[in-house]
Amino acid sequence: MKNVDATQDKRRDILEAAEQVFTANGFTAAKMDDIAELAGVAKGTLYLYFDSKQDLFVSLLEDRIWEYVATLTSKLEEVRSVKCFVQTLAKVRGQLFVRNQRLLESLSHSLPNFSKEHRLRIWNLRKGLEEPTIEALARLLPPDHPVAPLKAAAMVNGALDYTVGTLILHGQPVVLEDVARDLEYVLLPGLSQVLGKG
Amino acid sequence: MKNVDATQDKRRDILEAAEQVFTANGFTAAKMDDIAELAGVAKGTLYLYFDSKQDLFVSLLEDRIWEYVATLTSKLEEVRSVKCFVQTLAKVRGQLFVRNQRLLESLSHSLPNFSKEHRLRIWNLRKGLEEPTIEALARLLPPDHPVAPLKAAAMVNGALDYTVGTLILHGQPVVLEDVARDLEYVLLPGLSQVLGKG
Amino acid sequence: MKNVDATQDKRRDILEAAEQVFTANGFTAAKMDDIAELAGVAKGTLYLYFDSKQDLFVSLLEDRIWEYVATLTSKLEEVRSVKCFVQTLAKVRGQLFVRNQRLLESLSHSLPNFSKEHRLRIWNLRKGLEEPTIEALARLLPPDHPVAPLKAAAMVNGALDYTVGTLILHGQPVVLEDVARDLEYVLLPGLSQVLGKG
Amino acid sequence: MKNVDATQDKRRDILEAAEQVFTANGFTAAKMDDIAELAGVAKGTLYLYFDSKQDLFVSLLEDRIWEYVATLTSKLEEVRSVKCFVQTLAKVRGQLFVRNQRLLESLSHSLPNFSKEHRLRIWNLRKGLEEPTIEALARLLPPDHPVAPLKAAAMVNGALDYTVGTLILHGQPVVLEDVARDLEYVLLPGLSQVLGKG
DNA sequence: AATGAATGAGCATTCATTCAT
DNA sequence: TATGAATGAATGCTCATTCAT
């Protein structure tokens, strides 16, 4: 029991250190040395918990994203209107993005030289990340809305992520309630309108 | 004159090769060897035209982005409505994004280990990239629209980029006219509405 | 008593595992991890029975070779003719070689980076390995045979080992009786002839 | 012209350094750093001339062995008797062995973890090394000699190599003429006798 | 201006050995 | 005795940059 806990603790320490280092430098420029030092373990210890740098990176993404996907999915299940959807999404995905902005951007960059297995795992993550949004929109959009849920989801997620990213870039504080309000103001009418009205 | 032209030609060759290699691998994983080979010059020649790998990378971004910014700025100057703005943006920025998606995503990842000078140049690029959109929206949004142009621009750009990115990710063809139509359908009502109406 | 037996059993398990791993990979490429796993003990346990990887390796050689030397010595003591000597040698040394070919070849390769103590132990092994052959030939060769027993032994052992090694290399079955016959045919006349006749 | 020469010189320097280091330590324990230092070049330079440590090792073996095979083949072509054959072999192969004893022993040890391509190259070397001896014996042995040339060659080569090796091991000077005489005395009668006589 | 051979700092990964339990 | 998690020195290989030609 104690051992399992200790092991989980150390694994978490490493993931946390990896998050910081990968976030700060991107995959290729990140050094295993730095991750080990930040985690307070020896370099060799990293390889007791993860097979390789690639595996550590992908495992980190999985850890962070599956947790988020689970949270978002359950929260969106209770949602009954596009308006409520936008608010919920802004809060949950906004939080993910504030914390993991640079990590998420890594999703695309890390791919090219990865092994087939790791590419597959990343691909699954990328799709999984959009899944809850797409499903919620498929359920909530007016039945004859002309924009496919896949694209609508891309627009909502893109608008949200870019707004948060822009605030960060400009050094402004990110208040997710404000972002939600703006998002709602800009997107809600278009997402709610039915075909005849457009 | 002839020399100047030849010099410009070679510089262009190198930039073109660099674009392909950086696009395919990201900054750190890209190799100067590959760029030289693809450009058809010797490795040492790269250093006659660019000070370093960082300089080559930033110069490439500048070359591509300033060209785009100029184009977009002039096109948007003629625009007189939000609707027309969305269509124009989708076409021009969409093209930039289709061609340079991976390059643009590099903007954030390459920063951390860059020299102060290069970080500044990239910072300017990132802001410049959004500038025309912000200015156009500042001019075109209803005067009492509650969403600041900075954020509105982020939303529009984010929605556009993500939609295109999603299509690419899913292996679907990117038809910018369709994207423009969807964008218009989703964003136009929210961007056009006046405060009292919201 | 029981403890001693259990201890001896475990020691034997480890040596057996070590034999397989060293045989398959040579000294440097062999991993203590693999030996431990194959022996069914934890890595740390190896160090309860042997001081180091070097010690394990040399101990293994000693175990196998002293056993062989004892067997061969006793069998050769009963031998009364060069012909019988060749047959006996082919059988006993042949068996050793079939089983330990790769291990024996390690004798020379492992030396350089070994500690002085281990080098000495290996040196003794190498000489001990030839000893019974030299002694038997010193007794059996015609009294005025011009080839010194040391060299004659080298020739017989070399001819035998290479023949077996060649058969193994070519994937042919090693039938020691056949090897003995061929060896006898080629070597016996030269070893038996007296000086005047040569 | 000059460049080609300089390149060949450096390649030769590296091979010479590699020979010493591989000879002294065996493949796995040899360090690329040491080879580079001994060759008087930077570590990276090794990789301009050879793809990898494995490639360097196999290339070295090929360089040394093919040269020997060519020499031996041409010398043995002129040989008309088993007696003359033994003398010639002792001289030529003896020289190879004196110089490359440890390298040749590496032939078998280096194999296990090598890539398929390198294993094939080594396999070819091992067979090529015996080829001239086998061919000469196939031509020179009495027509009805019961020992196959393959095995007879193994015996002669084994006897020769072990004798030289034993002398080296015991710190005695290696005089190839003496070795040839002893070899002749022990092996010639058996190799020359015809079936009826045996 | 152009070349490309040479450099060497840098990095992911391995593995013999230790030691707290 | 026995364990196996942790260590960190060691090593093969890469690649941006330089410089003699």
pLDDT, tens digit, for every residue of D38-85?
999 999 999 999 999 999 999 999 999 999 999 999 999 999 999 999
Instruction: Give dist(CA C80, CA C71) in Å, integer.
Output: 17
Contacts with D78 (C-beta within 8 Å, 6 or more apart), sequence order: none
- What 8-state DSSP symbol labels residue B78? T
Q: Inter-chain contact A155–B150, Cβ cutoff 8 Å? A: no
Q: Which positions on strand F lie below 7 Å from a protein C-beta?
A: 1-20
Evaluate if the CB of C107 falls below 7 Å from strand F: no
The reply to whether B57-192 shares the fold of B1-50 is: no
Q: Tell how far CA C172 is from the center of its chain.
A: 21
Per-residue burial over C131-142, b = 16 or more CB atoms within 10 Å of its CB, e = otherwise: ebbbebbeebbe
Q: Give the pLDDT of residue B99.
A: 83
Listing DSSP states for A21-73 in one string gives HHHHH-TTT--HHHHHHHHTS-HHHHHHH-SSHHHHHHHHHHHHHHHHHHHHH
CA→C1' distance for A34 and E8 (Å): 22
Looking at the complex, report in whole angstroms how far the Cα of residue C74 sits from the nearest Cα belonging to chain D. Answer: 24
Topology of domain C52-192, CATH: Tetracycline Repressor; domain 2 (1.10.357)
Residues of C in contact with D189 (CB under 8 A): 189-190, 193
Instruction: Give dist(CA C158, CA C156) in Å, integer.
Output: 5
Evaluate if the CB of D54 falls below 7 Å from strand F: yes
Per CATH, domain B1-50 is 1.10.10.60 = yes
Evaluate if the CB of C3 falls below 7 Å from strand F: yes
Question: What residues approach strand E to within 7 A at the CB?
Answer: A 30-33, 43-44, 47, 52-54; B 6-7, 10, 41-45, 47-48; C 29-33, 43-44, 47, 52-54; D 3, 6-7, 10, 41-45, 47-48
Mean pLDDT value of segment C5-26: 90
Residues of B in contact with A29 (CB under 8 A): 28, 112-113
Q: Inter-chain contact D151–C165, Cβ cutoff 8 Å? A: no
CA torsion sign for A44, A46, A50, A53 is: negative
Domain boundaries, chain C: 1-50, 52-192
Mean pLDDT value of segment D81-91: 95
Q: Inter-chain contact B162–A158, Cβ cutoff 8 Å? A: yes
The band of C197, judged by pLDDT with boundaries at 50, 70 and 90, is: very low
The overall average pLDDT reported for chain C is 90
Helical axes B82-109 vs B116-140, angle rounded to 10°: 170
CA→C1' distance for B135 and F12 (Å): 55
Contacts made by residues A146-150, CB under 8 angstroms, sequence distance 24+ = A146/A195, A146/A198, A146/B182, A146/B185, A147/B182, A147/B185, A147/B186, A148/B182, A150/B166, A150/B170
Other CB atoms within a 10 A radius of the CB of residue B99 amount to 14
The band of B185, judged by pLDDT with boundaries at 50, 70 and 90, is: very high
Residues with pLDDT less than 70, chain A: 1-4, 108-112, 195-198
Instruction: Give dist(CA B54, CA B116) in Å, integer.
Output: 11
Which residue out of C160, C186, C194 would a mutagenesis test of the D interface target, given it has the greatest number of D Cβ atoms within 10 Å? C186
Residue count of chain B, please give it. Answer: 198
Residues of A in contact with B148 (CB under 8 A): 182
> Per-residue pLDDT for B197 more than 60?
no
Residue A160, CA distances (Å) to B3, B156, D21 in order:
50, 10, 62
Residues of B in contact with A189 (CB under 8 A): 189-190, 193
CA A180, A181, A187: angle at the middle one, nearest 5? 85
Which chains sit next to A, with 3 or more Cβ pairs under 8 A? B
Q: Pick the more confident residue, D171 or B155.
A: B155
The string of pLDDT tens digits covering residues C18-42 is 999 998 888 888 999 999 999 999 9
| C80 residue type, one letter | R
Q: Specify the CATH class of B57-192 in words.
A: mainly alpha
Q: Inter-chain contact B155–A191, Cβ cutoff 8 Å? A: no
Q: Specify the CATH class of D51-192 in words.
A: mainly alpha
Give the nearest partner residue to A108 out of B28, B102, B193, using CB atoms.
Answer: B102
Q: Give the pLDDT of residue A126.
A: 87
Q: At D111, phi and psi to the nearest 5?
A: -55, -50
> Per-residue pLDDT for D195 more than 70?
no
Nearest Cα residue in chain D from C103: D109
Nearest to A150 by CA among B155, B172, B157, B158: B172
Residue count of chain C, please give it. Answer: 198
The string of pLDDT tens digits covering residues A96-151 is 888 887 788 777 666 667 888 998 998 899 889 999 999 999 999 998 999 999 99
Helix (H), strand (E) at residue C114: none
- Using a 10 angstrom Cβ sphere, with 0-12 exposed, 13-18 middle and 19 or more buried, the burial of residue B26 is buried
CA B56, B58, B59: angle at the middle one, nearest 5? 60
Other CB atoms within a 10 A radius of the CB of residue D81 amount to 11
B156 touches B89 (CB < 8 A)? yes
Q: Inter-chain contact B166–A182, Cβ cutoff 8 Å? A: no
Other CB atoms within a 10 A radius of the CB of residue D5 amount to 9
Instruction: Give dist(CA D74, CA A130) in Å, integer.
Output: 74
Looking at the complex, report in whole angstroms how far the Cα of residue B2 sits from the nearest Cα belonging to chain A. Answer: 40
Other CB atoms within a 10 A radius of the CB of residue A3 amount to 7
The string of pLDDT tens digits covering residues C131-168 is 999 999 999 999 899 999 999 999 999 999 999 999 98
CB pairs under 8 A between A and B: 142
